[in-house]
Amino acid sequence: MLPILHAVQAEFGHVPAEALPQIADALNISRAEAQGVMSFYHDFRDHPAGRHVLKICRAEACQAMGSDALAEVAKVRLGVDWHGTTPNGALTLEPVFCLGLCACAPAAMLDGQVIGRVDAARVDAIATEAGA
């Protein structure tokens, strides 16, 4: 089920509501079960994200290096809260709990690319480059 959901999201950017009954049929499970699995995992979205997704780590090691303040900078710069997308659809801001980059904290991930030792200037550059 997870490989299917990952593949659907990779193709469409989210898991469309109409995909779930088809997945349920193929796996011979109820639609409720399919919905239950999809909604359990943080990764799967039921609506499209922005053109770019910036994940900022909120876990302890990054906090020890100022990730809380960094997240505030990002929220103000983008004008969104966690899980929010800028009005022009350029960038979605998401929290993540640990990217395994704890020795080069604070860490972030932009569309699957890891970034270490992120600072306010870097967040601003990312936002500008993404058109946000």
Euclidean distance between the first and the last CA atom of the chain, given in angstroms as a whole number? 34
Q: Is 43 in the site for other proteins (CB under 8 A)?
A: yes
Q: Which amino acid is at 72?
A: E
Q: Applying CB under 8 A, does 56 fall inside the site for other proteins?
A: no
Distance CA 116, CA 104 (A): 5
Q: How far is the CB of 12 from other proteins (least distance, A)?
A: 15
Minimum gap (Å) between residue 52 Cβ and other proteins = 15
* Nearest distance from C-beta of residue 72 to other proteins, angstroms: 14
The interface mask with other proteins, positions 8-27, x = CB under 8 A, is -------------------x
CA distance 74 to 34: 34
54 lies in the binding site for other proteins (CB under 8 A): no
Q: How far is CA 118 from the centre of its chain?
A: 17
Helix (H, G, I), strand (E, B) or coil at 130: helix
Site string for other proteins, 81-120 (x = CB under 8 A): ---------------xxxxxxxxxx-x-x--xxxxxx---
| Smaller CB separation from other proteins, 61 or 93 | 61
Q: Which two tokens stand for residue 89?
A: 């659809």
DSSP category for residue 102: G
Q: Is the Cα torsion angle 29, 83, 124, 12 positive or negative in sign? A: positive
Asked whether position 75 contacts other proteins by CB under 8 A, the answer is no
Interface with other proteins (CB under 8 A): 1-3, 5-6, 27, 33, 36-37, 40-44, 59-65, 96-105, 107, 109, 112-117
